[in-house]
Chain A
Amino acid sequence: MAQIYDFIYNLLPYLGAWLRGLLQGWGFPEWAIVFTMGLIKAFLLANFGLIGFAILTYVERKIVARFQDRLGPNVAGPYGILQPVADGIKLLTKEDTMPAGADRWVYNLAPLIIATCALAPLVVIPFGPGAIGADLNIGVLYALAVGAGALVGVLMAGWGSNNKYALLGAFRAVAQLISYEIPSVLSVVVVVMVAGTMSTVGIVLAQDVPYLFVLPLAALVFLMSGVAEVGRTPFDLLEAESEIVAGFHIEYSGMKFALVFLGEFVHALVVSALFAVLFLGGWRGPWLPPYLWTLIKMSIGIFLFFWLRATLPRIRIDQMLNLNWKFLTPLMILNLIGVALVDKGLRAAGVTSGLWAAGMFVFNMAMLIGALAIPGYLGHRARMAAMAPASEEELEALEAAAAH
């Protein structure tokens, strides 16, 4: 029994060791083993992204349907679980169109770049001790940098399509993504500063207390800017159906559309995986095997995304930009300075891990409440000022409308 538990618990390291032994037994030299293992890891990670994409399309439709008191997909297979397969076949058999006057190379390359840049950060997501694509020295920076490459793909798609809606959508997308990258990077910098390393494995190992309870403000900002970077509701004005039809991917059909869509979903997957690694303690947790903990923590972020989508309306573009530049960015800069001072102060005072985490938590919560109170107060005052000069006639009209 204990052996079976141990086997399931350490499944990924055992598999790696078995494969390595097998290759050594076949007389592979060391570099060939490293190369083959890398190829297999790349294959597995890419397919993790693809299968995750297929599952997520189904889960999103089911969850949003539940929120809206509908059934969601329920025709293909039991509970409709074969819906992604049906969708995949449908997309494969669709005609591959290209708009007249499109920039051929740019138009065709853009979906590839978007999908590649979305899949590439999976390399630095650890699924357990030793179970990672590559433990880069600059892990988090790599994930952010490669993710930023998708911007180029979005602009290429918008430009190459020779379509006004596509170009407007690409402008919106890039304006939003480039803005929200700043608070996102700043919140990651806070984590990197406290953990003392940029390696994703190092960050997970540094979290004796999950950073959600040490740096709640950074966690919140990372999640918010993550939603914005993925372009999901309430930040989905880059594909606002009522204004610009579908945004930068309006002209894509068939498998190219699927690739663009894959990019979006895998980006969501990557952001929630990064959230799990940076703030929820990655693979660490009691009883369950590490890879299961990683998947569970990833699904927390994903579920939050779906929940927000089902709950919130879309915000306007000026609200989106104001929120970023006038609230999140200054807040994160202040938070970075504050956390640095409090962290150094606590460590200089010789405070141990539990008390240190409590001190950081109290500081961050105080900052969060203060930060929410100020715009809350200002907004309240603005609303009161806007409501104040209601004349007698307006009040009567309101009462009449209410009575009616």
Chain B
Amino acid sequence: MTLIQAVFALLAILTLGAGLLTVLSRHLFHAVLYLILSLLGVAGLFVLLEAEFLAGVQVLIYIGAISILIIFAVMLTRGMARNPGPPLNNQSLAAAVIAGLFFVLLAPVIAGFPWPQTTQGVPADTIEALGRSLVDPNQFALPFELASVMILAALIGAIFIAREKR
């Protein structure tokens, strides 16, 4: 096992373990903290893949913004933060069966997919290539703009719901 593989194994354990604890912890606030740990593990995987930009954005947006908003939502929901109820309810068995079936369905697809592979190293300036591909009409300009429009729509919707009635 090389050093890279060892680091990958550690990060994978961190990500998956924290993800599992997110689902199983009794307290919602702790669940969010484990979620943050899990997201940090994903950022670590990005660093391992030499995608530093994605790692930075992952930390800035997922940990710095989205999890904080989740914590806000948890804390501002009445009674949510105070009473740690059981994390499982009586549908847990059915949920486990369905999740297992979904995994059985998904695993062969992932294993059988011809993932593109290359023996070349990561190019030196990935950020510039990323930036160009986001505005290149032949590459990702359309998905990028679609995502922007969707976020804008969500933004307007949120403002419309939150604004005071006149």
Chain A residues at the B interface, C-beta cutoff of 8 Å? 103, 106, 136-138, 141-142, 144-146, 148-149, 151-152, 155-156, 159, 167, 171, 174, 178, 181, 185, 198
Q: Given A152-B63, A198-B127, decide whether A138 and B68 contact each other with a Cβ distance below 8 A.
A: no
A interface majority secondary structure: helix
- The residue that B75 contacts in the complex, of A106, A144, A167, with Cβ under 8 A, is A167
The answer to whether the Cβ of B64 comes within 8 Å of any Cβ in the partner chain is yes
- How many cross-chain pairs have Cβ atoms below 8 Å apart between A and B? 64
A138 touching B56 in the complex, CB below 8 Å, given contacts A148-B63, A152-B67: yes
Alpha-carbon gap, A149 to B63, bound state (A): 7
> Is B21 on the interface with A (CB-CB < 8 A)?
no
What would 16 A/B residue contacts be, using CB atoms closer than 8 Å?
A106-B30, A138-B53, A141-B56, A142-B52, A144-B56, A145-B59, A146-B59, A148-B65, A149-B59, A152-B33, A152-B36, A152-B63, A171-B75, A181-B65, A185-B60, A198-B127
Also in contact, A137 and B127, with CB within 8 A (given A148-B59, A167-B75): yes
Question: A103 vs B33: C-alpha distance in the bound complex, in angstroms?
Answer: 13
The answer for the CA separation of A396 and B143 in the assembled complex, in Å, is 68
Given the known inter-chain contacts A146-B59, A159-B29, A167-B75, please indicate yes or no for A136 contacting B64, CB distance below 8 A. Answer: no
In the complex, which residues of chain B have a beta carbon less than 8 angstroms from the beta carbon of A144?
56, 60
- Residues on A with C-beta less than 8 A from B126 are 137
Task: Tell whether, in the assembled complex, residue B68 and residue A141 are in contact, meaning their CB atoms are under 8 Å apart.
Answer: no
Identity of the chain A residue whose Cβ is nearest the Cβ of B125 in the assembled complex: A137
A159 & B75 in contact (Cβ 8 Å cutoff): yes
Contacts of B30 in A (CB 8 A): 106
CA distance A146 to B47 in the complex (A): 14
Task: Please report which residues of chain B, range 7-57, place their CB below 8 angstroms from some CB of chain A when the two chains form the complex.
Answer: 29-30, 33, 36, 52-53, 55-57
State the CA gap A198–B127 with chains docked (Å): 9
Residue count of chain B within 8 Å CB distance of chain A = 23
Q: State A141–B64 Cα separation when bound (angstroms).
A: 12
Question: In this assembly, does B71 line the interface, its C-beta being within 8 Å of a C-beta of chain A?
Answer: yes
Min CB–CB distance B126 → chain A (angstroms): 8
The 8 closest A-B pairs by CB, nearest first: A148-B64, A145-B60, A145-B59, A141-B56, A145-B56, A138-B52, A138-B56, A151-B68
Instruction: Tell yes or no: B72 within 8 A of A by CB.
Output: yes
Residues of B whose CB lies within 8 Å of any CB of A are 29-30, 33, 36, 52-53, 55-57, 59-60, 63-65, 67-68, 71-72, 75, 81, 125-127
Cβ-defined contact, A156 with B33, below 8 A: yes
Is the CB–CB distance between A178 and B33 below 8 Å?
Answer: no
- Residues B64 and A181 in contact, CB atoms below 8 Å apart: yes
Chain B residues near A159: list those with CB within 8 A: 29, 75, 81
Establish whether residues A155 and B65, one from each chain, have CB atoms under 8 Å apart when the complex forms. Answer: no
For the complex with contacts A141-B53, A145-B56, 14 further pairs of A-B residues with Cβ separation under 8 Å are: A106-B30, A137-B53, A137-B125, A138-B55, A138-B127, A141-B57, A151-B68, A152-B33, A171-B75, A174-B68, A174-B71, A174-B72, A181-B65, A198-B127
Q: How far is the CA of A41 from the CA of B63 in the complex (A)?
A: 27
Question: With A and B bound together, what is the CA distance between A178 and B33 in angstroms?
Answer: 18
Residues of B within 8 A of A149 (CB): 59, 63-64
CA distance A119 to B127 in the complex (A): 26
Instruction: Check if A151 sits within 8 Å of B52, measured CB to CB.
Output: no
Measured CB to CB, the closest approach of chain B to A260, in angstroms, equals: 18
**Most chain B CB within a 10 A radius of its CB, from A136, A145, A146, A167:** A145
Residues of A within 8 A of B127 (CB): 137-138, 198
Considering residues B30, B60, B126, which has the most beta carbons from chain A within 10 angstroms of its beta carbon? B60
User: What is the chain A residue whose CB lies nearest that of B65?
Assistant: A178
Within the complex, the shortest CB–CB distance from B12 to chain A, in Å, comes to: 21
Separation of A148 and B39 alpha carbons in the complex (Å): 14
Q: Tell me, rounded to whole Å, the shortest Cβ–Cβ distance linking A25 to chain B.
A: 26
Closest Cβ–Cβ distance, residue A187 to chain B (whole Å): 15
Q: How far is the CB of A177 from chain B (nearest CB, A)?
A: 9
Query: Which of B52, B68, B125 interacts with A136 by CB under 8 Å?
Result: B52
Tell me which residues across on chain A come within 8 A of B71, comparing CB atoms.
155, 174
A144 to B64, CA, bound (A): 9
Interface pair A141/B60, CB less than 8 Å apart: yes
Which residues does chain A contribute within 8 Å of B55, judged by CB atoms?
138
CA distance A142 to B60 in the complex (A): 8
